């Protein structure tokens, strides 16, 4: 069952504000919109049309409203700038005006409303001031009018790993957490340490929320979820107190899972924002860290968080005892997409001409959410035409609709592009495999990421090496050039896809020459002493520490290194042309291959 506990404070606040402004506007309009003028009043008096009159001075006492009753029964109002003059005028014409008390309405608009508005301004200012005096203070507690909105699913076990298609490795990594939540005692009695926090990283729609829910479902424990952006409110201090509330709720329900979606909204690198680094987000993050440090390991709360931007996260949250477990949720490959399609076709009637495998093939780059959307659109299409089944052509229509979102459009790639990417990545992979100081290859993928990269080749993580040797750096450059070389060998043509590779290789070669003294011709001299410091205008301010002549020599050296690497790398790839073709073909079929499959290709060569 889902339950939601959000106080309507914020909406009330705005409602009150809105009403006040409305009243004010109406008052103002009322004051100005009369079509009855002072001149007309004079006319009416002269013509003897006026039978009665009321004068209501406003707060100034000098100006005010004159309401006149005419012979025909109409009542007209006119604003006068001098009530005494109006009084005299009326008396002279033989009408005895009734003088009323000072107007209440003008009292509201002229005095009460400004006071209320001023009070609002003061509250805003106070919240900002109190914010920098830390979230714990009495004052900011006072401003915490709102309770958080936590979605709570009680441990009903409705969503399990069976609902999560594909993502085999990810599920494996998380099964330990499930095990722990089922019986926290077992682990603590053995002295095993279970992570407090798990960070799920991956593109939107790849199933991070679904996975977290499934972990809770498998363990049959409550699932408390909140979005990172819910913490960040306009009132300083609210975010921090919401974090406290969240953990209080969790402590009542142990063992359980806390899920924070879009954690990057809170946990962005500190000290980069405007406002001197004392802002609301930072306080919220600090509070989150305090809470995570505060509860004991193995206490039965696991905090899971999702993001698609690990690169902008504050490193503090990745320290031991916080989110020290990271699970990368990948976009599905062909087989994964077929499984996801099967899950979402479960309760839908498909016509016989629908082939889920074919659909999986044509949807490279789609996430689980995209595929779910696709099946849903197809079902809607079928319902609209009154057909009892979802047909292949309805899925095709849905594909056009779902796939043509501006961002996804770039992800739908042609066979030709797929082929180029496959050869490109294989080029990198072969060099990783053959050269001694780099690699081995962990996985190769040509699944489009939607953010530029058409594929990737991933080596096993580097052993922590303190020093880079010259030969290792040269091998790195060769690997980097490998993609472009493979394209050239196979297609005899060069695409723009390799431009970032070339940039990277050039940069590395240049630092060999100018920073590490690795070039024989230039010698052991450092011509580049910037500390990779990032500030605007660095390159402008960067004083050249060498002459034009040396600059020319550096360029020649860099080019010589690149040319040499290119030639050597090309020879290696040519030597393994058989693997190049086989691997690229395998990649086009499966989109992603792992270490064993790749290395097996060399065996049969
Ligand atoms: P994220 O949290 O990564 O943005 P979600 O978990 O919210 O993505 O996924 C959105 C929807 O996409 C899910 O509700 C589910 O219907 C579908 N989906 C995503 N991945 C999968 C998957 N591996 N298997 C089945 N459905 C999936
Ligand atoms: Zn490349």
**CA-closest candidate to residue 468, choices 515, 503, 434, 433:** 515
476-491 b/e (C-beta count within 10 Å ≥ 16 → b): bbbbbbbbbbbbbebe
Confidence of residue 600 (pLDDT cuts 50, 70, 90): very high
**pLDDT exceeds 90 at position 428:** yes
pLDDT digits (tens, 9 = 90+) for 451-479: 556 677 777 765 555 567 888 899 999 99
Residue 81: predicted pLDDT: 82
Res 144: pLDDT: 43
**The pLDDT value given to residue 533:** 42
Identify the CATH number of the domain defined by range 2-109. 3.30.720.210
Q: Omega into 518 within 30° of 0, i.e. cis?
A: no
Specify the pLDDT at position 160: 92
Domain 153-329 has CATH 3.20.20.30: no
> Does an H or E element contain 547, and which?
none
Q: Which atom of ligand 1 is nearest to the CA of 306?
A: 2
Which atom belonging to ligand 1 lies closest to the Cα atom of 204? 4
Whole-number Å distance, alpha carbon 306 to ligand 2 midpoint, is: 28
Average per-residue pLDDT in the chain?
80
CA of 505, nearest ligand number: 2
Determine which of 58-72, 294-308, 322-336 has the lowest per-residue pLDDT on average.
58-72
Mutate to test the pocket of ligand 1, among 206, 210, 265 (most ligand atoms within 8 A of CB): 210
259-290: per-residue pLDDT in tens? Answer: 999 998 888 776 555 544 457 778 888 888 88
pLDDT of residue 537: 41
349 CA to centre of ligand 1 in angstroms:
21
Q: Any idea what DSSP says for residue 452?
A: S
Among 3-7, 45-49, 92-96, 103-107, where is mean pLDDT lowest?
A: 3-7
User: Domain 334-404 is of which CATH architecture?
Assistant: Orthogonal Bundle (1.10)
Domain boundaries, the chain: 2-109, 153-329, 334-404, 415-603
- DSSP per residue, 296-355: PTTSSEEEEEEES-GGGB-GGGGSTTSS-EEEE-PPP-HHHHHHHHHHHHTTSPBPTT--
CA distance 340 to 357: 11
| Nearest atom (ligand 1) to Cα of 329 | 3
Among the ranges given (77-91, 197-211, 568-582), the one the predictor scored with the smallest mean pLDDT: 77-91
Mean pLDDT of 351-376: 88
pLDDT value at 594 more than 70: yes
- Domain 415-603: give its CATH superfamily: Peptidase M41 (1.20.58.760)
Q: How confident is the model at residue 599 (pLDDT cuts 50, 70, 90)?
A: very high
Summarised one tens digit per residue, pLDDT across range 367-378 is: 899 899 999 989
Q: Tell which residue, 341, 351, 345, has the closest CA to residue 394.
A: 351
Do domains 2-109 and 334-404 share one topology? The answer is no
Indicate which residue's Cα is closest to atom 21 of ligand 1: 368
Residue 215 confidence (pLDDT) above 70: yes
How far, in Å, are 87, 209, 364, 592 from residue 372 at the CA level?
77, 14, 14, 22
pLDDT band at 577 (very low <50, low <70, confident <90, very high): very high
pLDDT number for residue 148: 59
Question: What is residue 534's predicted lDDT score, i.e. its pLDDT?
Answer: 43
Pocket test for ligand 1, best of 163, 207, 225, 305 (most atoms within 8 A of CB): 207
Contacts of 172 (CB under 8 A, 6+ apart): none
Output the pLDDT for position 212: 95
pLDDT, tens only, 332-353: 988 999 999 999 998 888 988 8
Q: Are strands 223-227 and 256-261 parallel, antiparallel or unpaired?
A: parallel
How many other CB atoms are found less than 10 A from the CB of residue 171? 17
What pLDDT digit, counting tens, does each position of 503-543 carry? 889 999 998 888 777 777 777 666 665 544 444 444 444 55
- Closest residue to atom 12 of ligand 1, CA basis: 369
> Which atom of ligand 1 has the smallest separation from the CA of 343?
25
CA of 416 to the centre of ligand 2 (A): 17
Catalytic residue flag (residue 425): yes
User: Mean of the pLDDT values across residues 410-418?
Assistant: 72
Alpha carbons 87 and 89: distance in angstroms, whole number: 5
Ligand nearest to the CA of 503: 2
pLDDT in tens, 105-133: 566 766 777 788 888 887 777 665 554 44
Pocket of ligand 1 (CB under 6 A): 164-167, 202, 204-210, 306, 340, 343, 368-369, 372
User: pLDDT by residue (tens digit) across 177-200?
Assistant: 998 888 888 887 887 777 889 999
* 550 burial level (CB within 10 Å; 0-12, 13-18, 19+): middle
Residue 444 alpha carbon to ligand 1 centre in Å: 24
Mean pLDDT, to the nearest integer, of 72-96? 81
- Classify strands 64-70 and 98-99 as parallel, antiparallel or unpaired: unpaired
How far away, in angstroms, is 600 Cα from ligand 2 center? 22
* pLDDT tens-digit readout, 133-171: 444 333 334 444 455 577 888 877 789 999 999 898 899
């Amino acid at each position: 069952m889902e339950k939601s506990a959000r106080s309507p404070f914020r909406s009330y606040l705005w409602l009150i504000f809105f009403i006040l402004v409305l009243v004010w506007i109406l008052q103002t309009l009322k004051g100005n919109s009369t079509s009855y003028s002072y001149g007309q009043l004079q006319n009416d008096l002269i013509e003897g049309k006026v039978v009665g009159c009321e004068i209501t001075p406003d707060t100034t006492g000098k100006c005010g409203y004159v309401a006149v009753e005419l012979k025909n029964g109409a009542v007209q109002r006119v604003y006068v700038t001098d009530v005494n003059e109006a009084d005299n005028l009326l008396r002279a014409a033989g009408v005895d005006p009734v003088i009323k008390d000072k107007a209440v309405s003008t009292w509201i608009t002229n005095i009460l409303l400004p006071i209320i508005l001023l009070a609002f301004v003061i509250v805003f200012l106070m919240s900002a001031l109190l914010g920098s005096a830390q979230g714990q203070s009495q004052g900011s507690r006072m401003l915490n009018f709102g309770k958080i909105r936590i979605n709570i699913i009680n441990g009903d076990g409705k969503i399990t790993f069976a609902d999560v298609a594909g993502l085999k490795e990810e599920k494996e990594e998380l099964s330990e957490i499930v095990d722990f939540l089922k019986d926290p005692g077992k682990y603590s009695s053995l002295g095993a340490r279970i992570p407090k926090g798990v960070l799920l990283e991956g593109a939107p729609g790849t199933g991070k929320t679904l996975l977290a829910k499934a972990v809770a479902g498998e363990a049959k424990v409550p699932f408390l979820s909140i979005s990172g952006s819910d913490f960040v409110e306009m009132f300083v201090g609210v975010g921090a107190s919401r974090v406290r509330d969240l953990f209080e709720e969790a402590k009542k329900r142990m063992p359980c899972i806390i899920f924070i979606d879009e954690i990057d909204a809170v946990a962005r690198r500190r000290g980069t924002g405007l406002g001197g680094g004392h802002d609301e987000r930072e306080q919220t993050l600090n509070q989150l860290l305090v809470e995570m440090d505060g509860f004991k390991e193995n206490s039965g709360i696991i905090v899971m968080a999702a993001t698609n931007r690990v690169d902008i996260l504050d490193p503090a949250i990745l320290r031991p005892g916080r989110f020290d477990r990271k699970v990368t949720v990948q976009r599905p490959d062909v087989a994964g997409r077929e499984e996801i399609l099967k899950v979402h076709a479960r309760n839908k009637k498909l016509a016989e001409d629908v082939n889920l495998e074919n659909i999986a093939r044509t949807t490279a780059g789609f996430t689980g959410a995209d595929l779910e959307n696709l099946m849903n659109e197809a079902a809607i299409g079928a319902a609209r035409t009154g057909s009892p089944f979802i047909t292949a052509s309805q899925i095709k229509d849905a594909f056009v609709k779902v796939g043509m979102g501006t961002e996804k459009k770039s992800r739908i790639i042609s066979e030709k592009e797929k082929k180029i990417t496959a050869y490109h990545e294989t080029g990198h992979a072969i060099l990783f495999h053959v050269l001694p100081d780099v690699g081995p290859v962990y996985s190769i993928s040509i699944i489009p990421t939607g953010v530029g990269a058409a594929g990737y080749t991933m080596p096993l993580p580097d052993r922590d090496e303190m020093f880079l040797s010259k030969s290792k750096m040269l091998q790195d450059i060769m690997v980097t050039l490998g993609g472009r070389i493979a394209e050239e060998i196979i297609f005899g043509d060069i695409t723009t896809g390799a431009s970032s590779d070339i940039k990277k290789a050039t940069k590395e070669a240049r630092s060999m020459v100018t920073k590490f003294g690795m070039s024989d011709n230039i010698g052991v001299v450092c011509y580049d002493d910037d500390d990779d410091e990032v500030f605007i205008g660095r390159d402008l301010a960067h004083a050249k520490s060498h002459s034009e002549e040396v600059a020319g020599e550096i360029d020649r050296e860099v080019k010589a290194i690149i040319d040499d690497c290119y030639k050597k790398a090309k020879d290696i790839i040519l030597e393994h042309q058989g693997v190049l073709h086989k691997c690229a073909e395998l990649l086009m079929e499966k989109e992603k291959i792992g270490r064993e499959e790749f290395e097996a290709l060399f065996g049969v060569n």
